[in-house]
Amino acid sequence: MKGAVRIVGDGIAARCCAHLLKAEPELCVCGNAPSRPRLPVVMISRATQQLFADVFHRTELFSATHPIHRRHVAWGGERRVLPHEAVVADESTLLDLLPPIASAEGPADWTIHAAKPLPSGVSDTSFGDRTAHAAAVELRPGSDCHACTIESVDAGWLFLMPQTRSSAWLLTVGGDAESLLGKSRFIVPDIARITSAGAQFASHPRIAWPLCGARWLACGSGALAFDPICGDGSGNAIREAILAAAVVRAAHDNKDEGQLRQHYRTRLLAGFERHLQVCAEFYRLGGQTDWWRAQLSAADAGIAWCRNQLGADVRYAYRLNGFDLERVS
């Protein structure tokens, strides 16, 4: 018997869920796309590019995007240069490369909330209150347009992502571009001028709680918001979408819905805890001012919260085999 799945949202997670579920002939997929501002820039690692190729069966998706080959890291000390294979694109251009979700009204057997609004009774649990500022900048002639740079300063950090040979996006956390560039040693020499101030957005980790309920799942930005200090938000969105689609397919095949929801909740919680541990290490090494100590304290509080929710004995009833869930024997 056919089942209906509604997907709330139109970002990377939503489109991945829709694409994976449309491959199941017994499921009818429709969308409801609340509008939201698109991110001005997204950096996509080599591993995440492979995830896109695996889901959408397209290896040419990023052929026209700007490549990054090096990563300059000036974190609590001198600058190091590391190899780094990634591409940079704006979110709207990226989404234009992916299949759209058909809009439709009517009842649904399952709902995947890949964006707000979330079901009644669900609220965000946040760890910190940081705001990120995005500014478009012009690069100085001779700057390395194939290198991104991350730099810590006394009360914040900066991340420069070239998007063409002469232009880049500058992300700052702890203050706006002008205030933090005044404290920069390594990024400021590469910038000729700020051409326009972009969006401001919350950059602290957040989790929707609960993450799922009877016949619904939160996924992507509807479920988790990651600190951009770690990058790879696109990769996290795809991995969540793969798991959400697998849960819905398994439930439609009459597997135990309660166990499936428990598996989904535990996997996302464990992934969120790992993210917070990486954040904590960044904030531990970034600086010794009150600002850095406050960010570390927020990350540590998030780790403790996740461990309390997970409990001491974490077990998984299922595992992914490709894009499908199978029981763990």
Q: Give, for 55, the enclosing helix (H) or strand (E).
A: helix 46-56
| List of the chain residues with pLDDT < 70 | 1
If asked whether residues 134 and 280 sit together in one domain, one would say: no
Strand-pairing partners, residue 67, are 87
Q: Are residues 150 and 221 in the same domain?
A: no
Nearest to 132 by CA among 173, 94, 186, 85: 173
- The residue among 204, 222, 187, 213 whose CA lies nearest residue 9 is 222
Residues 106 and 244 in one domain: yes
| Same domain, yes or no: 242 and 263 | yes
Q: Among the three residues 170, 203, 236, which one is the final residue of a domain in this structure?
A: 203
Supply 72's token pair. 């300059």
Domain identity same for 193 and 221: no
Tabulate helix, strand, coil % of the chain (nearest 5): 35, 30, 35
CA distance 151 to 136: 17
Looking at the fold, whether 304 and 321 belong to one and the same domain comes out as yes
Cβ atoms within 10 Å, residue 83 = 7
Q: Do residues 211 and 240 share a domain?
A: yes
Q: Tell me the C-alpha distance between 141 and 132, whole Å.
A: 27
Write the CA distances from 226 to 35, 73, 222, 229, integer angstroms: 20, 20, 11, 8
CATH number, domain of 316, equals: 3.50.50.60
Domain end call among 203, 228, 256 = 203
Q: Is the Cβ–Cβ distance between 263 and 246 less than 8 Å?
A: no
Question: Which CATH number do you get for residue 140?
Answer: 3.30.9.30
Mode of pairing for the β-strands spanning 206-209 and 123-126: antiparallel
For residues 138 and 269, membership in a common domain is answered with no
Instruction: Report the alpha-carbon distance of residue 12 to residue 7 in Å, rounded.
Output: 12
CA 85 to CA 275: how far, in whole Å? Answer: 21
First to last CA, the chain: 29
Tokens of 42: 């997204």
Say whether both 116 and 263 belong to one domain: yes
| Domain endpoint, select from 203, 231, 248 | 203
pLDDT for 35 equals 72
The predicted pLDDT at position 1 comes to 66
109 and 144 in a single domain? The answer is no
Query: In terms of DSSP bridges, do strands 131-139 and 167-173 run parallel, antiparallel, or are they unpaired?
Result: antiparallel
Domain containing residue 120 = 3-36+98-128+204-327
Residues in a beta bridge with 112: 7, 217
Domain count for the chain: 2
Segment 253-298, tens digit of pLDDT: 999 999 999 999 999 999 999 999 999 999 999 999 999 999 999 9
Please state whether beta strands 206-209 and 212-213 pair in parallel, antiparallel, or not at all (unpaired).
unpaired
